[in-house]
């Protein structure tokens, strides 16, 4: 008998029928003797409907009121799910973020959880109740309703699991786990039984949209075992946890990729201290997020400075850079928005040399030219022309034998 | 410069356009220097939509969860109205019932307000903000969300006006005031400039569905001047207040009627102490509300006992009475569900004799047979056959010259 926190996303509670299905699943777990705390999102489509209502009134709805509005989405789901449980003869209680004191900072629309008062939930569990909590929302210390930003329900679930010292936090979604890469690109892609928090962070930030990245960070920080599994199919999903002694360690866990990248290069930048800041400062001020950054050694007292941004920000970044280039006396600004990033991720890299060279060799064999390289302790990323994405990912998946259990 | 509480019902906030219109109206009041607290209902149709969601899950949704669900309706409106005010450059803050501590008992779906913490609202008003409060909802002392039952937003507005010591509580609705009788029956019906709380209570309970009866009681109890007016047309509406010295007093304020009545009579009941309780006890236990009750003096040690119920409860009441009649040794149970009640209402009755006899004479002149009579200090009610409703109301409206200002 363990305490388990489960989270069901918008698609899993997208209709009355699906909510009934979730109720059935919960009762199965309950019958196996587990204590359950359930976090739910708004029914799919509901958050968009509310957004549209807000935007039909104001192009820039005031953030505090947007949170008051959006938080009703999850509130509807918790009530309906609790009703479905009661109908089946199980005692359940629903709580909004405010009711269980999911205390956040006051950054409306993107608040961060500070603290959760778990007393009330423990009392309900003791009384044999299933506790149903609205995801995505909290309350600041003045009692204002806050939301955690899109996908924030994952974070709510992990934060609750941490506060309640749950045995496991299970994220039910429409995929049945984390894969070695996107199965739409590589049909042989294999579901991973386990992955580490760090690997998951690299995978998530690189475009595997299974879990909200903040939720993974949170789970890692508080060491909450996190499991991704399907709410529609049976199966054990993928467990995200810390490396354990004796845990069978794959060299590479997966291949992530990102189609939404564009790269920009300032050529012939005078090689002076502070030049990186002079280039990236104005870009950051324009709220453009920078991903990879590469600067090569200087030749002839000048250097080339390259970075990637989201493709949507390409034009804006280009025009900012052209101004900066003039100021700095750089030679030229060039760019390309037809590129993609492919990354190998795996904690096994730490102890194994030669991963990067196998990667480069594999790509070369396929005639794929590498435009940029960047590495971290558990990741090697390359930028290649967009047209090579599928070819590159498939070749790497095969080269590292990811279709076979590690 | 006064503090005014305004309430806008579901029709008045039924679309984004209407919410924008309410925002414009509020700003007009604000420009005249008034402090404003605004109570809003759910957008029309929304409460029904939520009810249907609940009932598609359970025929009898658990009351606590129904309140969690339904309360989202008003929460959407407060957010949208606040956004519309911000867009117009006016500072506004929305609050759920729980956020301004509208403390109620724990009778879910029909809770009663116990207390309101007005501190936060006063602080906002002082800061120049328009305060927007969700109607219909509160919170019990354990933090559970409660609702006041349908139409409860009127009560929220009055309770806020009382707690804040507002100068006036204005209920904006789709009619422009309280009329001497239903204009659909008597085209000459006249809007009243003023009416007393007691008269309004009698009018409301008799079928003038302008205001929730509990809100009128509340306003009377705390002496909150209450004004009913249209959110679509200009005009001063009807002010509901206490009798004032020198207030021009009409003999009769209005004629109320109720089409939904049915009457039941137990004939030949042995005239013993406790017989009324023996008859009405089981009726009350079956949750049937009894309206008029008439018992005549006993003849030959037996009496006839008559009362009226809502027409929907007629069959059920009849079958209960048949059992009771046997137990009591009564002669027979008869009933009629083709009757209506017509009532004259007016505080002027207190000091003027002869109202009832003018009423009876008027009806007799039209050949209308009176089936039952019941009187109170400010009301005379008669039950007549349903077919005479329009004729009777029109004749009385003319006889008491209600089309002319009193």
pLDDT score of B349: 81
CA dist A121 and A136 (Å) reads 18
Tell me the mean pLDDT in the region A126-137. 97
CB contact under 8 A, A69 and B87: no
Tell me the mean pLDDT in the region B398-403. 92
pLDDT score of B80: 98
Comparing C-alpha atoms, which of B309, B310, B314, B370 is closest to residue B343?
Answer: B370
* Structural domain range at position B20: 3-174
DSSP B96: -
pLDDT score of B208: 55
The answer to the question of residue B26 being in a domain is yes
pLDDT tens digits along A360-395: 999 999 999 998 888 888 889 999 999 999 999 999
The answer to the question of residue A208 being in a domain is no
The answer to the question of residue A402 being in a domain is no
User: Which residues of B are less than 8 Å from A76 in CB distance?
Assistant: 50, 53, 69, 72
- A59 burial type by CB count under 10 A (0-12 exposed, 13-18 middle, 19+ buried): exposed
The answer to the question of residue A212 being in a domain is no
What domain count does chain A have? 1
pLDDT score of A363: 93
pLDDT tens digits along A223-254: 999 999 998 888 999 999 987 655 555 678 89
Considering only A292-296, A362-366, B315-319, which range has the smallest mean pLDDT? A292-296
pLDDT score of A206: 57
- Establish if A364 touches chain B: CB-CB under 8 angstroms: no
Q: How many CA atoms lie within 13 A of B262 on its CB side?
A: 17
Two tokens at B43? 């957008």
Three-state DSSP state, B390: helix
Confidence of residue B7 (pLDDT cuts 50, 70, 90): very high
What is the per-residue burial (b if ≥16 Cβ within 10 Å, else e) of A251-289? bbbbbbbbebbbbbbbebbeeeeebeeebbebbeeeebe
Residue with the bigger pLDDT between A353 and A239: it is A239
Mean pLDDT score across all residues of chain B = 91
ipTM above 0.85, yes or no: no
Residues A170, A5 contacting (CB under 8 angstroms):
yes
The answer to the question of residue A100 being in a domain is yes
pLDDT score of B217: 87
Residues B343, B255 contacting (CB under 8 angstroms):
yes
Q: How many CA atoms lie within 13 A of A322 on its CB side?
A: 8
For chain A, the residue count is: 406
The answer to the question of residue B378 being in a domain is no
Residue with the bigger pLDDT between A375 and B151: it is A375
Two tokens at B73? 């309706």
CB contact under 8 A, B83 and A50: no
User: Which residues of A are less than 8 Å from B72 in CB distance?
Assistant: 72, 75-76
pLDDT score of B206: 57
Beta partners for A303? Answer: A269
The answer to the question of residue A123 being in a domain is yes
Integer CA distances (angstroms), A272 to A279, A302, B178, in order: 12, 8, 81
Does residue B245 surpass a pLDDT of 60? no
Question: Going by C-beta distance under 8 Å and a sequence separation of 6 or more, which residues neighbour residue A356?
Answer: A373, A375, A380
The answer to the question of residue A286 being in a domain is no
Q: By percentage, how much of chain B surpasses pLDDT 70?
A: 96
Comparing C-alpha atoms, which of A258, A253, A257 is closest to residue A401?
Answer: A253
- Establish if B109 touches chain A: CB-CB under 8 angstroms: no
Looking at residue B101, which CATH number applies to its domain?
3.40.1160.10
Tell me the mean pLDDT in the region B181-188. 90
- Establish if A64 touches chain B: CB-CB under 8 angstroms: yes
Considering A195-204, B38-47, B244-253, the range whose residues carry the highest mean pLDDT is B38-47
CA dihedral A230, A232, A234, A238 (to 10 degrees): -10
**Residue in B16, B58, B143 nearest the CB of A86:** B58
């Amino acid at each position: 008998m363990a305490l388990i926190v489960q989270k069901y996303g918008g698609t899993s509670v997208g209709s009355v029928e699906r909510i009934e299905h979730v109720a059935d699943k919960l009762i199965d777990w309950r019958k196996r003797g587990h204590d359950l705390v359930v976090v739910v999102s708004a029914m799919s489509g509901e958050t968009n409907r509310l957004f549209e209502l807000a935007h039909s009134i104001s192009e820039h709805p005031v953030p505090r009121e947007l949170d008051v509005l959006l938080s009703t989405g999850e509130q509807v789901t918790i009530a309906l799910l609790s009703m479905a449980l009661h109908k089946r003869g199980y005692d359940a209680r629903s709580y909004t973020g405010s009711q269980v004191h999911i205390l956040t900072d006051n950054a409306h629309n993107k608040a961060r959880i500070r603290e959760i008062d778990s007393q009330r939930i423990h009392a309900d569990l003791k009384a044999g109740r299933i506790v149903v909590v609205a995801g995505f929302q909290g309350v600041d210390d003045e009692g204002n309703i806050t939301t955690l930003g899109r996908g924030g329900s994952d974070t709510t679930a992990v934060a609750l699991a941490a506060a309640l010292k749950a045995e496991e936090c299970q994220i039910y979604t429409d995929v049945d786990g984390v894969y070695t890469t996107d199965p739409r690109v590589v049909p042989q892609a294999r579901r991973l039984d386990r992955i580490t928090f760090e690997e998951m962070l690299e995978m998530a930030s690189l475009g595997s949209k299974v879990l909200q990245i903040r939720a993974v960070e949170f789970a890692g920080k508080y060491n909450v075992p996190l499991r991704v599994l399907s709410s529609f199919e049976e199966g054990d999903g993928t467990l995200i946890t810390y490396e354990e002694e004796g845990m069978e360690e794959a060299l590479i866990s997966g291949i992530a990729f990102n189609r939404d990248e564009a790269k920009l290069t300032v050529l012939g930048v005078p090689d002076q201290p502070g030049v990186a800041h002079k280039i990236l400062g104005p870009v950051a001020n324009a709220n453009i997020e920078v991903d990879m950054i590469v600067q090569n050694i200087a030749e002839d007292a000048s250097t080339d400075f390259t970075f990637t941004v989201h493709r949507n920000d390409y034009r804006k970044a280009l025009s900012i850079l052209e101004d900066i280039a003039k100021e700095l006396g750089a030679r030229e600004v060039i760019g390309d928005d037809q590129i993609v990033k492919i990354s190998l991720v795996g904690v096994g890299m730490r102890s194994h040399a030669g991963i990067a060279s196998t990667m480069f060799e594999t790509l070369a064999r396929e005639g794929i030219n590498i435009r940029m390289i960047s590495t971290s302790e558990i990741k090697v990323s390359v930028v290649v022309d967009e047209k090579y994405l599928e070819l590159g990912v498939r070749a790497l998946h095969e080269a590292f034998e990811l279709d076979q259990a590690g």
